[in-house]
Structure 1
Amino acid sequence: MEYEYGVLLVSCTPSILGLYNKTDDKELRHTALILGVLALVTGVLEKIKLPVALSRNGSPGLFYGYVVVAAVLLQCSMNQEMHAKQFMAMSMELTHFSIWMILFSLTSWLFKCSSATINSYIRDFALVTIIGYFMHAALNLPINLTLFLRVVSCLVVIKITSYYLPNCFTLGEMLLLYNLLTTFLLNVTYFESNFEITVIATWVLFFVMLFLMSLIPICLVGIMSTWYFYSSGFLLLACLLIVLSESIVPNAIHWTIDFLWANWPHRQLLLISWLIEIFITVLYVTFWRDHNGKSSTSERKIFHIIILLTYIPGIWYDIPLLLLCSVGSVCILLILETMRVLKIPPLEKVLNDSLSVFIDAQDSGCLILTPVYLLLGQSLPIWISCLQDPSLLTNPNSKVPIAAYSGILSVGLGDTAASVIGSNFGRHRWMGTNKTVEGTFAAFFAQSAFVIFLSETNSLIYVFIAILSVSLIEAFTCQIDNLILPSYMFFLLNVQSS
């Protein structure tokens, strides 16, 4: 844990300083300065026993939850002219949100509160509200209802997660996902553009999130049923189709045919190759399930290779298709995992039998999230890159930023090389971990070779430093690397274009 934080601090400092020096805007520089302070504070908080049991091997991973998303949004405000002010506001609100959450953590630790009592939560929140109010007043920081509700809802989510979903998340992972979700839901109109692809992807993701969130109160009161699951799902699907057909795609059939036949022959070949990869994946999973085998870490990396074969050609030849299909795939995986956990027929048994073979050591709770994280980790850098540069969706000759490859580099290539080489040829282990030095060097060289092959940037030294940092974090982190590594690498690489 100490080594991981050391790498994080050393690698993120130049990036945050770069953000500070890139702009003369006082608010942006002020936000960058606060993020730098938060990066230091998270190291201190890692040493403190938090009032909720959301950690893995003693590490809650606070840096990823408190700093990464806000920093990426700050980069977006510098890279994206159309909605620069909106992205700046999002980053500032997340930064202030992190301050409030840190105050809550410190107050709970100071008073030695137990997370099992509602009274302690109410008392802590009252104290934090008073302290936070005077702090914001002294620093002349804005306080709004959205920020207040965000903090309250996050505390409720932490309470529910620690009680009903133990060992499923660390606090850092949960906060990272919470920040991504709430930022998307609160600013859904800003993530649209004049392009049909982004509008469709945005509203599909929005309605799926709405559907899954609507299930939470039903599950908490214990009245979930198969009938409710399917009826509410079909109702929201109908609402989605109405929204798309009325305001976005009036003639859905005609639009679908035009979309599928556009970009000949790249789009059609990509779709055929992806269908073949899906078929191979199903055969592979079925083989392991029927033979009652338990896959090793190296054998699970076949899914990383399939991801590489999916995303690399997609980025090279058809980003609009990749964007739409990746959003759909993430939504499908989330719905399937929900069906598995809630035991919704008819797929519950098949999903349980198939996924149990490939359970990762980090999937120690009732949720199996590594497949979702794998897909989300590959997709997020591409989604954000398209937000920053919409020409990626309209101009086939647009230069794809190296940051868009963050998931491919860190997980697809780096994590796979580290696992395969480390487990088969590793002899020297890093202190305090089972990861090997040989695996880390394999991760570094695999990613570096791909970057040299791409030749997408002139700042190769900075890219190599980012790759080395993420390779070391992969060796030391206790967080789920499928999500954490792409997010952090995107932050490091995206600062080049800020």
Structure 2
Amino acid sequence: MLQNPVTVESLIIFAVVLCIHTIVWDKLSWCAVALALQAYYVQHKWDRLQKSGGAVFQYRQAVSTGVLPASMVIPLLGIVIKEHCGSVGNVNMARFGILLAAIGMALALFVSLIALGITRPIPKNTCVLAGIIGSGIVYTLKHLLTVSEVIEVLEILLIFVYLSLIILWLLPRSFTPGEALLVNGGISIVINQLIKRSLNVGDSRMDPVFHFLLVVLVGVFLMGIFFTVFFYFMDSETWISSLFFHMMTAVLGLGIIMPWLYRLMKTNPIMWLFGFLFQTRTRIILLCFWTLLAVAACCVVLYQHFRNCSGTKKNTTSTVVRKYFHFIVVATYVPGLIYDHHLLYVAAVICFAVFVFLEYVRHFKIKPMGHLLSKTLSVFIDERDSGPLILTHIYLLLGMSLPVWLFPEPCTHKGSLPGIGGLVPYAGVLAVGIGDTVASIFGSTLGEFKWPGTRKTFEGTATSVFAQIICVAVILIFDHNVVLNAGYGWILGSITLVSLLEAYTDQIDNFILPLYLYCLFMV
């Protein structure tokens, strides 16, 4: 049984769920345990369906469909946010945590229903089990949610359905079913939150940076949908099309995104942004340092491109070279988290928008940079970039940024959480920036003993855990907001579980690992 990496991955997910359940121990955590059991059986059936070629959409080929690890992320996020914010008396955020957990469970149950519905022959035993567990979860949520919250869950479910149809049709082979669930579910929640904030403009309690995040994320997504539909009927590689692309980008940015931001912020968003970025001397120093790192990253990309163009090397790049960017991102995020996490929050949003925009330029081959970006970035493609888009670098940025964006600041004292919770914003740095990088480098260069059924090595995982523990010690020295008086065993166990998940999962680890470490640190 342990020779099968999918089985071991499932056992690790069950271990994470049970660890959180032993601490929270309420109706929602029981629902999470039941949901994990149901998702495991559905994943087993969908894996067989995928191998037989009976899937409706074209998914990315992987060892597993990833339904179980993806199904548990959003419910666990909601449970840990509810638990922490409820313990400090923030009722609104605690209710949001319950709502988030309910949304995650509803999305997972819906995807499981679709998977069982298209499986032939119909797996009767799995259907019975899924029906019993689904009915129990729905019955429990019915008594936990208000009428307005039930309506909101249904709204997000509706957005998710249409979003899935659009994205899976436009981007074939870009996601596994689990990754599609996580990405489409996250976008659906963001769209719903933006609609709510836009209808309740009088609520001034929200931080402007949160509005900035919502509008930019939804704006770049809608921009991609618009250009994809437009260039479906028109050649995108001509100068006229490129001119139209740049003009429409300006129109959408200045005519829709800026007024939307102004409506939510009640101030000029451009002036607010400049005032925010250059507010203090520390922020100016951080921005200069980050600019130097960005230049260094561009130099690495160009050097690798010209090296491959010289004909001395084949059109690929090594794992070690790709991990340079992980170290550059760590060097970007750690000073931001220590000295000014609000600036890092906004800078990550801007960087995400730039990355997505450049990917649009590359994908549509927009002149004058489209072809150059295609040739330059093609050497950094790995086997997971099998669709029309190159998403690895965007997943890396998301994995580092999500713990920062999801940090429950309204439930904190002076902007930091007590105990192990102080490490929550560092979840991306530890899991991806340090753990995944060290595991890949040491595993590919020095590793000899492979984990059963995988290409990952025991040496890589062991050095990954050790490097993350060292990183925690360094954080304790330099970040005085992180104070640990106990819980060292929990930190070691959490890091070990996530490192084992990195060794066995075939999903996008840059995206999924920080979220699991976030949940373990938060609880």
Task: Give the structure-2-normalised TM-score.
Answer: 0.81
* Shift in CA distance, 356/391, structure 1 to aligned 2, threshold 3 Å: farther
Answering whether residue 259 of structure 2 is matched by residue 242 of structure 1, we say yes
Aligned to 1:462: 490
* Alpha-carbon distance in 1 for matches of 2:165, 2:212: 34
* Shift in CA distance, 403/260, structure 1 to aligned 2, threshold 3 Å: closer
* Shift in CA distance, 137/277, structure 1 to aligned 2, threshold 3 Å: closer
CA contact (8 A) 1:392 1:399 kept: no
Aligned to 2:280: 263
CA shift for structure 1 position 311: 0.2
* Alpha-carbon distance in 2 for matches of 1:105, 1:194: 38
CA shift for structure 1 position 173: 1.1
Aligned to 2:517: 489
1:120-161 deviations in whole A, cap 9, x for unaligned?
A: xxxxxxx99xx89x9589938659665556545545555555
* Alpha-carbon distance in 2 for matches of 1:364, 1:443: 27
Residue number among 339, 361, 365 corresponding to 2:361 in the alignment: 339
Residue number among 193, 206, 224 corresponding to 2:218 in the alignment: 206
1:436-460 deviations in whole A, cap 9, x for unaligned?
A: 1100100010011112333433211
Aligned to 1:401, the other structure's residue is in SS state helix
Aligned to 1:40: 37
1:411-447 deviations in whole A, cap 9, x for unaligned?
A: 1100111111111211111111111110010001001
AA at the equivalent of 2:80: Q
CA shift for structure 1 position 253: 6.5
Which stretch shifts more, 373-382 or 80-89? 80-89
Answering whether residue 290 of structure 2 is matched by residue 274 of structure 1, we say yes
Aligned to 1:122: none
Residue number among 203, 207, 227 corresponding to 1:195 in the alignment: 207
CA shift for structure 1 position 278: 0.8
Aligned to 1:31: 28
Aligned to 1:83: 93
* Alpha-carbon distance in 2 for matches of 1:101, 1:221: 32
Aligned to 1:449: 470
* Shift in CA distance, 10/194, structure 1 to aligned 2, threshold 3 Å: closer
Q: How does 1:46-445 map to 2 (within 5 A)?
A: 46-48=43-45, 49-50=48-49, 51-52=54-55, 53-54=58-59, 56-80=61-85, 81=90, 82-111=92-121, 135=135, 139=139, 147-148=153-154, 150-151=156-157, 154-155=160-161, 157-159=163-165, 164-188=170-194, 189=196, 193-218=205-230, 225-226=241-242, 229-238=245-254, 239-245=256-262, 248=265, 250=267, 255-256=272-273, 258-264=275-281, 266-292=282-308, 293=313, 294-387=316-409, 389=411, 401-445=422-466
Aligned to 2:183, the other structure's residue is in SS state helix
CA shift for structure 1 position 39: 1.0
CA shift for structure 1 position 202: 3.0
* Shift in CA distance, 39/221, structure 1 to aligned 2, threshold 3 Å: farther
Aligned to 1:198, the other structure's residue is in SS state helix
Q: RMSD between aligned alpha carbons?
A: 3.3
Which stretch shifts more, 267-276 or 333-342? 333-342
1:142-191 deviations in whole A, cap 9, x for unaligned?
A: 59665556545545555555555333111111111111111111023569
Which stretch shifts more, 272-281 or 8-17? 8-17
CA shift for structure 1 position 317: 0.3
* Shift in CA distance, 440/193, structure 1 to aligned 2, threshold 3 Å: farther
* Shift in CA distance, 295/183, structure 1 to aligned 2, threshold 3 Å: same
* Alpha-carbon distance in 2 for matches of 1:483, 1:404: 15
CA shift for structure 1 position 339: 2.2
CA contact (8 A) 1:319 1:392 kept: no
CA contact (8 A) 1:79 1:388 kept: no
Residue number among 473, 478, 490 corresponding to 2:506 in the alignment: 478
Which stretch shifts more, 405-414 or 451-460? 451-460
1:442-487 deviations in whole A, cap 9, x for unaligned?
A: 0010011112333433211111111101111111111111111112
Aligned to 2:479: none
CA shift for structure 1 position 77: 2.6
CA shift for structure 1 position 259: 2.8
Aligned to 1:46, the other structure's residue is in SS state helix
* Alpha-carbon distance in 2 for matches of 1:179, 1:104: 15
CA contact (8 A) 2:31 2:137 kept: no
* Alpha-carbon distance in 2 for matches of 1:390, 1:242: 32
1:94-117 deviations in whole A, cap 9, x for unaligned?
A: 31232122122112214569xxxx
CA shift for structure 1 position 222: 6.2
CA contact (8 A) 1:59 1:478 kept: yes
Identity of aligned residues (%): 27
CA contact (8 A) 1:168 1:366 kept: yes
* Alpha-carbon distance in 1 for matches of 2:15, 2:280: 44
1:228-274 deviations in whole A, cap 9, x for unaligned?
A: 5334422221132234446626356764554344332x212111110
CA contact (8 A) 2:438 2:463 kept: yes
* Shift in CA distance, 161/237, structure 1 to aligned 2, threshold 3 Å: closer
Which stretch shifts more, 416-425 or 91-100? 91-100
Unaligned runs of 5+ in 1: 22-28, 114-126
* Shift in CA distance, 480/392, structure 1 to aligned 2, threshold 3 Å: farther
Which stretch shifts more, 204-213 or 309-318? 204-213
CA contact (8 A) 1:304 1:412 kept: yes
Which stretch shifts more, 341-350 or 161-170? 161-170
AA at the equivalent of 2:34: V
Aligned to 2:175, the other structure's residue is in SS state coil
* Shift in CA distance, 365/253, structure 1 to aligned 2, threshold 3 Å: closer
CA contact (8 A) 2:60 2:384 kept: no
CA contact (8 A) 1:249 1:255 kept: no
Aligned to 1:121: none
Unaligned runs of 5+ in 2: 1-5, 199-203, 477-481
CA contact (8 A) 2:212 2:261 kept: yes
* Alpha-carbon distance in 2 for matches of 1:340, 1:397: 44
* Alpha-carbon distance in 1 for matches of 2:443, 2:335: 28
* Alpha-carbon distance in 2 for matches of 1:243, 1:208: 13
AA at the equivalent of 1:259: F
CA shift for structure 1 position 360: 1.6
